[in-house]
Structure 1
């Protein structure tokens, strides 16, 4: 006899099939995101967090340096049941434009999450690595 009650930590196959039929359409670029109010809010939220954390300062463009641009990356975050939790927009550096041994190691992420820093320090402590602090402007 087959029991219809799922075991704790598992899902019914019918629930898995329902979630597989979800089609999430994320914007391909900024112009497409501008057409949707939810994505506009997500971009404004990300910019306000960057400003709140003071992770960058606007400076004059150096004449002897190549400028590396940024782009928006869009992701739809889902709840466990497959419903949309929120739209997440991130402003990221176009690192693929860099040239190894010229400017490859000169770019830093505009935002560092605290849990990522904690994990890095934990791994460094476990492996007896030296950790250096750099203040980047």
Structure 2
């Protein structure tokens, strides 16, 4: 019978080094502090709203919401239809973000209307999904192959 392999036991750490989390320090690492030039705490930037009601009272966020709504309408993102019996109503919500430039200054306020599609059932609440996603490199490869083969 061959000898049994020995189990390796992890050594007990004998060093005194602690991580920032172990020390209870959850602040940004000072090593990267020069990259944190975003002025979120600045008083000139409207804070991210916690509700739609507060966003509607702030002209910056109201404008961002109007831009998003206008884009959805121009692109004919959806069409309203009468509700068939036994079908879920898909609700939505607003998401708010600050968009910053590379230098850390505020570029714009971004408001997005997203649907809560987790309650949808295939074949009942929707029929098909299609998301055309293709990389530019893939198109170049296909065109190159087509050109070389005439």
Does TM, normalized by the shorter one, top 0.5? Answer: yes
Take 2:113 and 2:73, find their aligned partners in 1: how far apart are those partners? 12
Quote the RMSD (CA, aligned, Å): 3.3
The equivalent residue for 1:129 is none
TM-score of the two chains, using structure 1 as the length reference: 0.59
- TM-superposed CA distance for 1:59, in Å, is 1.2
* Secondary structure at the counterpart of residue 118 of structure 1: coil
1:52-96 CA distances to partner (integer Å, 9 max, x unpaired)? 111111111122201110111111101112111000111101134
The equivalent residue for 1:89 is 111
| Structure 1 alignment gaps of length 5 or more | 1-12, 127-137
**Do residues 34 (structure 1) and 50 (structure 2) align?**
no
Pick the aligned partner of 1:64 from 74, 77, 86. Answer: 86
The equivalent residue for 1:9 is none
Structure 1 segments (4+ residues) deviating >4 Å: 104-108
**Do residues 16 (structure 1) and 35 (structure 2) align?**
yes
- TM-superposed CA distance for 1:118, in Å, is 2.9
**Do residues 45 (structure 1) and 82 (structure 2) align?**
no
Look at both structures and tell me which one has the larger radius of gyration over its CA atoms. 2
The aligned runs of 1:92-111 (5 Å cut-off) are: 92-96=114-118, 98=119, 103=121, 106=125
The equivalent residue for 2:96 is 74
Number of positions where the alignment pairs a residue of Structure 1 with one of Structure 2:
101
* Secondary structure at the counterpart of residue 71 of structure 2: helix
TM-score of the two chains, using structure 2 as the length reference: 0.55
- TM-superposed CA distance for 1:107, in Å, is 5.8
| Structure 2 alignment gaps of length 5 or more | 1-31, 143-150
Take 1:38 and 1:27, find their aligned partners in 2: how far apart are those partners? 11
Pick the aligned partner of 2:133 from 113, 117, 131. Answer: 117
